[in-house]
Amino acid sequence: MPQKGLSSKRVDNARHPGDRKRPITLADGAGLHLQIASSGAKSWLYKYTLNGRSREMGLGPVGTPPRGLTLREAREAARAAKALTLKGIDPIEDRSRRRAAAQAQKERDAEHSFRRVAEELLQAKASGWRNDKHKQQWHNTLATYVFPKFGDVPVCEVTVDHVLSALRPIWTLKPETASRTRGRIEKVLAVAKTLRLREGENPAAWRGNLENLLPNPASIQGKLRGHHPALPWDQAPSFYKALIERGGMDAIALRLCMLTAARTGEILGMRWGELDFDQRVWTVPAVRMKGGREHRQPLSSAATALLATLEPAGDGPQSFVFPGQRTGKSLSGMSLAMLLRRMNRKAAGQEHRWIDYQTGKPITVHGMRSTFRDWAGETTGHSVAVIEAQLAHKLRNKTEAAYARGDLLSKRAALMEAWAEYCTQGAS
């Protein structure tokens, strides 16, 4: 009696007789056939008749997934195809429709890749950025750390694993950058959900999600580098005198940084229209503040006198107090960093002159804010609320913050006058 059906061993041992060019087929039953080409290649066929028409449907090569199908898997595929024929559905046409639908979905997903949604977000918010630098930072972090990892992945398919693939390489090396990158990924995915391009929880969210998988970035940052290397406050007068001796627009800008405890970008972006010499107040617009809120800076006698030595390089209130070499541009932040580098250049057999006592590293421009903070906290009786308000920091203590509704300008003016007197002592 002829053998019924196929076995795995028979499939492995079956060979083409070689006496013809056409392939041969061996039936397994229920429409499934093993096809063997003259080259020896083996594949599976499902043969069926529908509406009086005989057809053959290729199921794939013989083998193991993902490159082929075993006998068991081929039988399952044949049963699924037969179930369609019993319903009057042509399995070949059904497969073509499903493949076309899958391809169309793939193309739609490609139109809504993470990269595309991120770029559309950047474009949509172009007019709302605090400045061009902020927008560029957004783009640079995504282009450097995220797009190479999953930029082309459909935004609906981005998972925690994708997010971690971008964050883990920089999480402990660049904690501040990594934290900002995570927030930007979270924002892009939140926008995608609003646009109904994805569903479910945000895989870049920190609370209840990534906080369980990654160490706290604040703790890493503190261990890695602590604060920006700062000038010890007891050296502020001698450093200020050294700046006077240097001269130049960059030295004047750095002196004003010290006298106001303002951030570099706030100082270099200063325009003449922001200054009220009668009231001795400098109003920094919200677009240039890190916290996104307008900030009134009291100007001490020394700061006011320093500004009075400068002459507007352009017409109108929008001209820069510290203009750069290019028309319509301010002095570059790198100019202050380079000034510090020149002042701190090692002489033969000598160490850096201006260093942070705690880290032993050369001081930074941003560290001047810490210099002021340390001096105010250790040598004055001014409250934390006044000191933090001068630095444009939000109070961490919620109770204190609830009562500190004003900007404490008059109290801050007294604080900054004392600071200026301290910095300028002994200076001519």
Same domain membership, residue 32 and residue 120: no
Domain endpoint, select from 43, 67, 86: 86
Check residue 65 and give its pLDDT: 85
- Segment 242-270 mean pLDDT: 93
The first and second tokens of residue 412, run together, are 């801050």
The first and second tokens of residue 64, run together, are 């193991």
Domain endpoint, select from 167, 197, 224: 224
1 in a structural domain = no
Q: How confident is the model at residue 106 (pLDDT cuts 50, 70, 90)?
A: confident
**Domain containing residue 405:** 233-423
Same domain membership, residue 205 and residue 243: no
Same domain membership, residue 369 and residue 269: yes
- Segment 266-272 mean pLDDT: 92
Looking at per-residue confidence, does 165 or 222 come out higher? Answer: 165
Nearest to residue 323, comparing CAs of 363, 385, 271? 271
C-alpha to C-alpha distance for 396 and 400, rounded to whole angstroms? 8
Same domain membership, residue 14 and residue 156: no
Cis peptide before 232 (omega within 30 of 0): no
Check residue 225 and give its pLDDT: 47
361 in a structural domain = yes
Does the structure show a pLDDT above 90 at 173?
A: no
Write the CATH number for 46. Answer: 3.30.160.390
41 in a structural domain = yes
Does the structure show a pLDDT above 50 at 403?
A: no
Check residue 361 and give its pLDDT: 84
94 in a structural domain = no
- Segment 141-169 mean pLDDT: 94
Does the structure show a pLDDT above 50 at 303?
A: yes
Check residue 350 and give its pLDDT: 58
Percent of the chain at pLDDT above 90? 58
Q: What total number of domains does the chain contain?
A: 3
Same domain membership, residue 352 and residue 299: yes
277 in a structural domain = yes
Is-contact 81 49, C-beta < 8 A? no
Write the CATH number for 127. Answer: 1.10.150.130
Same domain membership, residue 261 and residue 344: yes
101 in a structural domain = no
Q: How confident is the model at residue 149 (pLDDT cuts 50, 70, 90)?
A: very high
Same domain membership, residue 263 and residue 184: no
Same domain membership, residue 215 and residue 256: no
Write the CATH number for 285. Answer: 1.10.443.10
Same domain membership, residue 404 and residue 303: yes
Same domain membership, residue 389 and residue 265: yes
pLDDT tens for residues 349-379? Answer: 556 788 888 777 889 898 899 999 989 988 8
C-alpha to C-alpha distance for 148 and 142, rounded to whole angstroms? 9
409 in a structural domain = yes
Same domain membership, residue 288 and residue 190: no
Looking at per-residue confidence, does 1 or 125 come out higher? Answer: 125
Average pLDDT of the chain is 87
106 in a structural domain = no
Q: Which residues are bridge partners to 323 per DSSP?
A: 330
Q: Assign residue 327 a region (left: φ > 0; alpha: ψ between -120 and 50; beta: otherwise).
A: beta
The first and second tokens of residue 323, run together, are 């203009």
Check residue 1 and give its pLDDT: 34
Same domain membership, residue 335 and residue 243: yes
- Segment 106-113 mean pLDDT: 76
